[in-house]
Amino acid sequence: MALVSGMCAECRARMLTGLGAGTARPEQAPPRRSELVDRIPGVLYRSSPDRQRRLSYVTDAILGLCGIEAPEFRTGRAALGRITHEDDRDRVAEALGAPSAAVGYEIQYRILTSDGEVRWVSDRGRRTGRGTLMWDEGLLLDITGSRAEMERLQHEARHDGLTGVANRRALTERLEEECARSERTGTPLCALCVDADHFKAVNDTHGHDTGDRVLVDIAARLEGAVRRYDVVARVGGEEFTVLLIGIGADEGTVLAERIRAAIAGRDCGGVAVTASIGCAAWMPGDTPEALVKRADEALYAAKRGGRNRVVTAA
């Protein structure tokens, strides 16, 4: 201890610190700014406020997002606007051109990677600067996975899980839209109620797996008989409703007969089945419920008349 007492204060402090080196670690230095930036999930950028969206600054994480290295963007050989999906460019430009961009913007859109893959990104930022020296500064996040999950859930919420056609919820929404359009413009509208005949016997005789195949086949024939903007929906076990947009009673009856013949003309799912169809055309003042009710009453008239036939409501 005499040696220690004879040292200057600075040397003594260094020596005492060294004595504890085997039991304590010195505090780590705080991370550098570049290290903090690298830890941010996503891509930080600064872009020009035009459709090209040239990047004066972008973090190296851009490579993992789109397959293009950061220097390609920094030198202008690549630009954010150029990798934005062409179907989304106008929407992105409109959002960035709004006065609110100075407060902040949040846009979801698609980009194309260097190998042609489509990815969804969330783009959050704001416009900064003064006069003509303006920049958009923001953060890009890859949301491809969450977007795909969201679209899957949205599809399931509006489509029948077995056949893939619209479900009752989607049909109800479309019925309201189309009846309102017909009331406003007088556009013809026709509803068909389609029901597989003796379907319980199909399940009892051949099993539910076969019954499911029959329903899938019927749904496919219905979709194949109508136009892409018409609506085919499964509303019950073996019950379907078809909305024919811009079609009146006469044409609707002809199409219904074609559908009936298509189902009865060959086996559905490996089983011979037929279908009864009720047809009703929209009339002024019809609510969605009134239109479907008249088609449903026509369907039961077809059932009572011997099945495998079309009846059109008066």
Given the residues 94, 151, 156, 238, select the one marked as catalytic.
238
Same domain, 232 and 293: yes
pTM of the model: 0.63
Active site residue 86: no
Q: What DSSP string describes 108-176?
A: EEEEE-TTS-EEEEEEEEEEEEETTEEEEEEEEEE-HHHHHHHHHHHHHHHB-TTT-SB-HHHHHHHHH
Of 7, 17, 113, whose CA–CA distance to 65 is shortest?
A: 113
State the residue range of the domain holding 305.
159-312
Same domain, 204 and 267: yes
Same domain, 65 and 137: yes
Same domain, 174 and 300: yes
The answer as to whether 14 is a domain residue is no
Question: Tens digit of pLDDT per residue, the chain (314 long)?
Answer: 444 455 555 554 444 444 444 444 545 555 555 555 666 779 999 999 999 999 999 999 999 999 999 999 999 999 999 999 999 999 999 999 999 988 999 999 999 999 999 999 999 999 988 767 789 999 999 999 888 888 888 888 889 999 999 999 999 999 999 999 999 999 999 999 999 999 999 999 999 999 999 999 999 999 999 999 999 999 999 999 999 999 999 999 999 999 999 999 888 888 999 999 999 999 999 999 999 999 999 999 999 999 999 999 98
Same domain, 112 and 256: no
Structural domain count of the chain: 2
Same domain, 301 and 213: yes
Query: What is the C-alpha separation between 269 and 214, in angstroms, rounded?
Result: 4
94, 127, 147 - which closes a domain: 147
